[in-house]
Structure 1
Amino acid sequence: MADPVISLVVERTGDLLIQKIVFLKGVRGQVERLQNDLVRMRCFLKDADQRQDEDARIRNWVSEIRAAAYDAEDIIEIFANKIESIKDKGFVTRLAYYPWRIVSLNKVGKEIESLQTRLDNIAASREKFGIKNLGEGTSTHGEELQRLRRSSPLSEDKDIVGFEEMTKSLVTELLKEDTNRRVVSIIGMGGAGKTTLAKKVYNHADLMTRFNCRAWVCVSSSYNHKETLRTIIKQLNPMTNELLDMLEKMQEQDLEQRLYQDLQDKRYLVVLDDVWEEEAWDCLVRNAFPDGSTSSKLLLTSRNRDVAIHADALSIPHELKTLGKEDSWQLFLRKALAHGDNAGCPPDLEEVGREIVRRCDGLPLAITVVGGLLLGKKELKSEWEKVLNSFNRNLSRSQSGVSAILELSYADLPPNLKFCFLYLGLFPEASVISVPKLIHMWVAEGIMQKRDAENLEETAAYDDVERLCGRNMVQVVETTVDARIKRCRVHDLLRELAIRKAEDEIFFQIHDTRDGKISAKSRYLAVHSLPLDKNYFGTSIPPLRSLLFFNVHDYREDISLSFKSFRKLRMLDLENVRMNFNLPKEIGEVRLLRYLGLRGTSIRGLPHSFGCLRYLQTLDIRNLEQVIVSDFIWKLESLRHLYAYDIECDVPLKIEGLRNLQTLSRIRFDDIMHNNMITLTSLQKLGIWVDDRSEIDKLCMHLSEVGSLKTLHLYCNTESEWPSLDGLSKLHHVTELKLSGRALRMLPPDFPPNLSRLSLKHTDLTDDPMPVLEKLGQLSFLKMKDAYKGPQLVISGHGFHQLKFLELNSLSGLKEIQGEEGALPQLRCLRIRKCRELRKLPEVPPTCTLDVIREWDPTGLLLLPLVPLVPLLLCHIM
């Protein structure tokens, strides 16, 4: 589908019809016609999308459809919310509201009628804009981009830097003697240099000698099976008119058979450049490539890790990262000044040149393109400064440069992933994004679909993060020890692409200048800097759905927002924003709100009107100061995630009946004991403050019947002693336990019987905990951070039979880890962080990944185990 926003909004409008049908009886027919018109209009959007980059009129036409789709959703949802707000009131009250309901129904009917007229006018203007039916037309913008992307091994780039080690590794792998045909793959984001590296390898002298039969073909996203087969066959045979005529007449099966015959009994090397889909790979190799004993190889490049793994699950993909600072600078000098190795830069150009390189963020394609721009500038500082000042505009609008390459990746995304990618453009440049927070945001935006009862929208959202990372549209910054993505970022050039796409479609805006104007049409607004004028929005308030603040914590004055002006708001993130001590009571007017982020604000209290936010899914009030709330939490029937550091209520906090609640963070022990926790049928993660008076045995009895509970986190205040932890064995459903807080000098006497993950943080254990922990038969994940003060950990040969991931962090006194023979047989990853005194590690399985980061200590060196570690992922001394 062409426009990701319209596609998703039309789907949501249909869902609303089903969900709110009881409230829409009087206008059901009008709403259904509205949705049907939007669905029909959506059929013309693919043709429009392919041409809107070249025609502002078409862009405006698509923008009008998008605005109408949003307004349709807003009208239905606001009306339904009004009606729902009185459903729990008494009979007499509901009867008194009946005339108001009739008036509201009449009003929404007129609004839908007005919207229908708008859609009729938009439809009538389609022919004026020359927008055809789906599939009509000739050459498209996407096809032009594909032609720009075509690669050939003949045009090898001689100005290559930073690929020496990977070239050696690839050549070595391709020269291996194998009993079967193998696939070697190179993966990386668009513009990372995959094709350049593949050319260098393909033309390597050793490989030219080794393989007596070689071919190169660019597959691309618009894969044509017949054309690909013809291209390879032409490279393997003398070119004659008879061959060309024959190939044109051949069907797919004949072409596959001919290629198979050409390659049979030969030691061949075929490069398949830019493979996008697993289906394209399957179609190509199904019948065309012999799999004999000649040690033949296929070299594959792709932006998608899944394609590489699908092609050969036994071959680890070679992932191209961005260039380092010095390699980037050397490549830039070669491209911008046409200098050879070790040539310097004119002193007056170096400062501006290095800033240009910094903006390229290590992406070879970006450096090459901007270097080409500068090559004809006569080495004038004024010309280089002009390029720097217009850097983003020059790159993003140049269809023969970076944008042309990166747009291919964007165009290939399905509608929901396009929206997810565009949404990432709202975050500031170079910002590191928390994946859990991003997931909550996407779910609140309504772009995730629930797959089934066991796989909620959060699961789909995390899968989409992985898919974007797998396509190299998003970069992984940090993972957990068991390889789940924890934080990510977007390359600056891809962020510019997201911003350009979103701004062209006039639906989101970034406010990052003090004198910039906020558009009255914006639906998504990210504020990166605040104007001195407190009237941010002028006289015309935009119909915002999302309002996000970033990096404004140093603003001199408290931010004051008129919440009555944002009745259509679904997302409000005020993290680290300075505000008044109490959230205004007008927040209750924002009844469609799904996500509210107040982390790091100075908010001390939430008003009683907060209970009107029936659609709220995520509430983050993690502040250093205590947050006072009224007795309204139980009214937030859609609440899924409540994050806090300390909540105070004048009565025991009531949370019973919140059937959607999945995460409840740092609630007090007494508040838990005053609630019937069995009613929280979706609760998966629970964090509780305990002290020396807390009766853990009774708590565990209370939680033992909460069958959905998987993770329990117990925090103990630094001013208090830990209570007895008897009773944990009652928690049969709990598979993850976290204990945080000083003064825990001894481990609990028992643990949940099905425990597979354990985290100890900021505890004061003095005795070696391993003799106890290694007896936990199902433990697969163990993390200890600032948890143990002793100098030695000893692991016996019969312990930790299921442990796969072990992370030790900030164990300041630890000097050695001893492992008896046979210890840790299943270990996959050993991660060491900031253990400054550590000198000795145990022997671990050869397949274990060792991941060590420690500060430099001149008194000694870390002694690695004698058993070889494969692979050695990361081991450096900082």
Structure 2
Amino acid sequence: MNLNKVGKEIESLRMRLKEIAESRQEFGIKNLGEGMTTHGEELQRIRRSSRLSEDKDIVGFEEITKSLVEELLKEDENRRVVSIIGMGGAGKTTLAKKVYNHAGVRGTFNCRAWVCVSSSYNHKERLRTIIKQLNPITNELLDMLEKMDEQDLEERLYKDLQDECYLVVLDDVWEEEAWDCLARAFPDVCTSSRLLLTSRNRDVAQHADAYRHPYELKTLGQEDSWQLFLKKALGHGANAGCPPYLEEVGREIVRRCAGLPLAITVIAGLLGKKKLKSEWDKILNNFGTNLSRGQSGVSAILDLSYADLPPNLKFCFLYLGLFPEDSVISVRKLIHMWVAEGIMQKRDAKNLEETAAYDDVERLCSRNMVQVAEMTVDERIKSCRVHDLLRELAIRKAEDENFFQIHDTRDNEISAKSRYLAVHVLPLDENYLVSSTPPLRSLLFFNIRRYGKGISFSSKSFRKLRILDFENIGMGYNLPKGIGEVRLLRYLNLRGTFITRLPHSVGCLRYLQTLDIRTKLRALGILCDTF
């Protein structure tokens, strides 16, 4: 009877919504921003902006890029360290990419690798990342790297590099200890090799090489800031200008960004959607309000950009905060997750949920809330990443809204309000997912190499679970038959777990949409693709 009553209430609400929709059409009421561009035109503009790399859009780095390239190419047989320092959002990574991809640099160093070190430093994982870039990826190599301890990995990397003229970029190094650990694996054997290091901390750079001054990345000047803003907000070339009625307020907004490329880029992504002066004035006023609350300029801008996101894009942006810092996130995987969450709706009769999810990735990229990491040959976004300041924003907003929890220390306790849980570090008690855990909607594991004890899927914690991601975890057991009791499960990722058998109870997962079991089958020596 209760369910019947709820059903009637839902039907009543649907009828009311239908009446409202018909009334809006009858009286010519449009959605906010509707009528300015067609949906197709908007998608074309987004796709055009998605193709442009960060390096092509950035301004003001010409001289320092030239100096860095000259420094790397100086005749000196000894291994040398060149450092770039600057505050968060100053463009250190963008500058390093320009140098790394410079034609002269590519032609000089026959062996190149790039690794993001980040604040959550994992020595073995970073060593594996570099080795994979220097060798053809085979199942044998991956197996061997998993079995190696730190000393073995250091020796393998040293051996790979000892006869090479190499360039390795160590991006976003936070601690001196991280440099000390990595430095042992980089040979100094008169091959004119170079290490390019970026950091927010001057002490780290000077610790890496006490005899050379780091290149300090200053903020952009007012005119360079304005040119960057025009490129990002209006898609104009270097010689194009801003509409006269928007220029005054636009220049004031840019001035408030204090020359930080990240702040300029994000606010430009926000204003690029708005064509009315009143809308720009409102952003400027809100910017001042946030500053009066004690926020820094960058924080105020990021908050404004987040507040301007539509509800579905807010969810998508927050969801990205579950991934570890500096992660390169597969767009294909992300789309499957978002569809499994049930937040995607068909935009028209021919537009599938997957297409809607991909469109939202593009929209986040066009707003500069997400960075394109890799494109496919047909110029679609293959992978993306989130700047660490924007990831911090996502985590902060998620905590405010009790959206998700990240388990990144061994003594974390699972909040009773958590519905989305990302496990980055296993606690001392691996059986912490017990009946006291709140009902979860998503459970994701990252950078966990082994999970030796079974999970009881009969726990009430899993009754509402829709996403379960075990990717790259060395499971010490086959999937328990209790998986069939997770009746609402829509996304199950067992990629790289080496699970050899699925229980018959998988057939009970009637809502399952994605089952990823890609892994190497050792006995057969073949690669199993997505099922």
TM-score (norm 1): 0.31
Larger Rg: 1
TM-score (norm 2): 0.50
